[in-house]
Amino acid sequence: MFSTADAPSRVGHLRAALLMPLALLALLVLAPLPALAKYASIVIDAKSGQVLHAANADTRNFPASLTKMMTLFMTFEALERGKLKLDQSLPVSARAEGMAPSKLGLRRGQTITVEECIRALATKSANDAAVVLAEAIGGTEIEFARMMTERARKLGMTRTTFRNASGLPNAGQLSTARDMARLAQALIQDQGKYYPYFNTRSFSFRGVTHRSHNRLMARYEGMDGLKTGYIRASGFNLVSSAVRDGRRLIGVVFGGETAAWRDNHMADLLDEAFNGTTTPMLVAAVGAAGRRAADMPVPSRKPDGSENDVASVVAAAAGAIASGAGELALAKPAIAGTLAAPNPAREPSGWGIQVGAFNNKAASQKAVASASERAPALLNAAIPHVVEVPTDGGRLYRARLMGLDEKSARTVCAQLSRAGLGCLTVPPAGR
């Protein structure tokens, strides 16, 4: 029994107990979904659109601040139509002020010019400036996002949906590496007048200088844009364009583990494409596996909603496997002189699997693609990685998929072994 004096307290506890499951359910429903592909990439010829490399290129993922490329595309079109002018002052709304970082720190009632907004998006990736542009063009950010999606469809971005102008986490805001390459191509070909804004190295606003998040642009020969992006759910993303010997390429990377890894991987992909050493038909098979796995459930991770492209320490190299243990060498002579020596600092961290080792890089890539097709649900989150190893007889190329946890690596290796595909688990550094 309890007294009437205890009744309010007991009722309150009961109400709290009943409401807690509802609150948890609401969090599950409203929380942004995880990325559908941890890793994806593509390299195309900017002029012809020819695909030179593709991996998971059509699997939908969170674009993060790559979204701002579309916001800027819409802004450039508004400038061309006369709806906006570069020196036009735009009002800052309460919504713009309330945006999460990265931002300029704009305050409601202030004004900022269209050109300042453009430079803020291209360098600082400022979310508040993105909302200012969205509201100036669409009236509201929601309407602007609808306009972005409609325009994307006309550009051929058939697997892209926008829900905001900044790229902050939203379960419905998804794109693909291929669609982002199409957008970059449109920015270069259709908005070439404004494309140099993507090459802005720094931007000063009200006494504060903001440096570009695109650090690779300062060290990669011929690179002159475009955009970085990061939220926890997507990893580190990058769209880049570079010109060498009169030829322009566009590269897209989704799901980098760190900013440094992403930048180094982009440099490798572009180098191979410029040198003509890519094998598009083989790596495209990985993309096919990714598409089949797109609807499989994956563990949820909560995005932090911020752009953070400060280069962090590159993951240590994964533990090496003795060259004679389970490695299959082909009779075909190794290809010499076309690839640089391996840089162990670029190997993704975490556990992985090795599905063979060959004296031909193309055969190693084919083995990675085959493994991805055999176990797409488990390997959709893995990062394809071919390790070049010097040997007395030439070179070996170890076919690996990295970035897994130990349980996933052992589970998928057992599954592949049962399917008749040789497999070894690869532990992280120090194991």
Other Cβ atoms closer than 10 A to 3? 6
Residue 122, CA distances (Å) to 70, 90, 118, 203, 241 in order: 12, 18, 6, 9, 14
Q: Reply yes or no on whether 65 is catalytic.
A: yes
Q: Where are the alpha helices (DSSP H) in 235-345?
A: 259-275, 280-293
| Active-site position among 38, 68, 124, 227 | 68
Sign of CA dihedral 191, 54, 399, 389: negative
Which one of the listed residues 41, 125, 306, 364 is annotated catalytic? 125
Strands 111-113 and 202-205 turn out to be unpaired
Catalytic residue among 41, 65, 306, 349: 65
408 is catalytic: no
- Residue 102 makes CB contacts below 8 A (sequence gap 6+) with 65, 124, 125, 126, 127, 306, 307, 308
Is residue 166 annotated as part of the catalytic site, yes or no?
Answer: no
Cα–Cα distance measured from residue 225 to residue 201, given in angstroms and rounded to the nearest whole number: 10
> Please, what sign has the CA dihedral across residues 281, 283, 285, 291?
negative
Return the half-sphere exposure (C-beta side, CA atoms, 13 A cut-off) of residue 124. 21
Q: How many helices (H) and strands (E) does the chain have?
A: 12, 13
Catalytic site residues? 65, 68, 125
